[in-house]
Each structure stands twice: as C-alpha cells, then as structure tokens.
Structure 1
Amino acid sequence: MSKNQNTFIKKQKAELKKRKKRDKQEKMAARKDQPKSGDLDDMIAYVDEFGNISDTPPEPEPPKKENVPRPSSLPRPQNTQQKFNRNNKFKNE
C-alpha cells in the first residue's frame, strides 16, 4: 500500500511543480508586455497630511498670516551697548 501512496504523492508534486512553472512564465510574459516608461513623474508619490499616498501633488495652501498685535504699552529698550574690557568686566557706554 505504501507504493501506491508514494507514486500518488510524486505525481502530485510533479503536477504542482509544472503549475508553478507555468504561472511563473505567464507572469514573466505579462511583465514583458507592459510598456516601460521609466519617467520620473511616474515614480513620484505624494503623501497628504493624513498619510495617504497618491499620484497627484497636493494643492498648495496659501500661507497663513498671524496678526499678533505688538504691545505698545511696554517701553522700548534703549540703546545699551556694552563693551568688553581687558579686565573681563563689562561697562556701559
């Protein structure tokens, strides 16, 4: 009985091997039939703010302007420049 099982398994393995080889040849033929462009535009992918990948570039958003009022009640700093002496001390002019 083991002889029949061995031959059946061998036939199954051979059939599986032939099927894989045929599938591989079909895939190779399909790849060869596809046009090759190699353009840089075809290879570029864009990512939006949500992390989704797309082929089209995102729409440029206008720059945001922040209108922060400057506090006028604070006194402006006066021109206080300091010079460095040789004695490692600062003195005001």
Structure 2
Amino acid sequence: MTNRISSNKKENEKKKISKRLEKQKRKNERKANNSKKSFEDMIAYIDETGQITSTPPDVKIENKNHNI
C-alpha cells in the first residue's frame, strides 16, 4: 500500500515538472516572437470623408479649416 502512494506522488511530481517546463517553453516562445506593436502603429486617423486611415492628415489642409 505504501508503494502505491509513493508511486502516485512520483507521478504527480513528474506531471508538475512537465507542466512547468511546458509553461516555460511557451513563455520563451512569446518572448522570441515579441510581436508588440508600437504606439504609432496602433493610432488611427479619420480623413475628410470620415473614413478611418492609418496615415495622418495633411497639416496644410487642417490649418486651412481652422482659419475659416
């Protein structure tokens, strides 16, 4: 009976170690990919027609609208 308990403990310990190693492996993969976007990549602009674009509006056109 005691052998069975100790073998279950060994199996559980092996499972814990394997889970820990898998978690560390996934963490290292995320760090290696490092697909973070910069702040400038996340900014969206709205053009004259109300469409969302990734390019900033022309400063000349914007200044003309403010002067009127």
TM-score, normalised via structure 2 length: 0.53
The list of structure 1 runs, each at least 4 consecutive aligned residues, that deviate by more than 2 angstroms after superposition, is: none
1:12-23 matched pairs, under 5 angstroms: 12-23=11-22
Alignment correspondent of 1:24: 23
The answer to which structure has the higher strand fraction is 1
TM-score, normalised via structure 1 length: 0.39
The answer to which structure has the higher helix fraction is 2
1:7-52 deviation per Cα after TM superposition (whole angstroms, max 9, x unaligned): 11000000000000000000000000013341328xxxxxxxxxxx
Alignment correspondent of 1:35: 34
Q: 1:3, CA displacement in angstroms?
A: 0.3
1:1-93 matched pairs, under 5 angstroms: 2-38=1-37, 39-40=41-42
What 5-or-longer segments of structure 2 have no aligned partner?
44-68
Instruction: Name the aligned partner's letter for residue 23 of structure 2.
Output: K
Instruction: Name the aligned partner's letter for residue 3 of structure 2.
Output: N
Aligned residue pairs, count: 40
Paired-residue identity, %: 25
Instruction: Name the aligned partner's letter for residue 6 of structure 2.
Output: T
1:41-91 deviation per Cα after TM superposition (whole angstroms, max 9, x unaligned): 8xxxxxxxxxxxxxxxxxxxxxxxxxxxxxxxxxxxxxxxxxxxxxxxxxx
What 5-or-longer segments of structure 1 have no aligned partner?
42-93
**RMSD between superposed Cα atoms in Å:** 1.5
- Higher Cα Rg, which structure: 1
